[in-house]
Amino acid sequence: MSVILVVDDDAPTREALATGLKKLGHEIHVAGTGVGALDEVRRFPVDLAIIDLKLPDMEGTELFGALRILRPEAIAIMISGAATVDEAVSALKRASTISSPKTSAWGSCARW
């Protein structure tokens, strides 16, 4: 069982991912903001973080950077329903991540 953090300001997306992953037996934590996500990362040994690229209080790449410091062993998957190709490429250049559009994120996560 993995400890997975789902970070997305869109509640239906966040809850759909959390529900599906929980059914697979994972321990799930959720946050709708970067600050909320950082609180969860400090409290729980996160193995995987699924991070929306556009959060209301910070960019997902900023959160990824903080995750690398707090939990360097954690894996991050960046998702976005609104990012452009240039933004996705920029995020990939700034960090080693797996990038997936939200519409196909479930398929990526089910393999964990």
Reported as a single tens digit per residue, the pLDDT across 43-96 is 999 999 999 999 999 999 999 999 999 999 999 998 888 667 777 667 666 654
Sheet strands (E) in 8-82: 27-31, 48-52, 75-80
The pTM of this model reads 0.80
Dihedral (C-alpha) 63, 68, 73, 75: value to the nearest 10 degrees?
Answer: 40
Question: Side chain identity at 89, as an amino acid letter?
Answer: V
Question: Could you confirm whether domain 3-110 is CATH 3.40.50.2300?
Answer: yes
Reported as a single tens digit per residue, the pLDDT across 54-66 is 999 999 999 999 9
Domain boundaries, the chain: 3-110
Strand partners, 31: 7
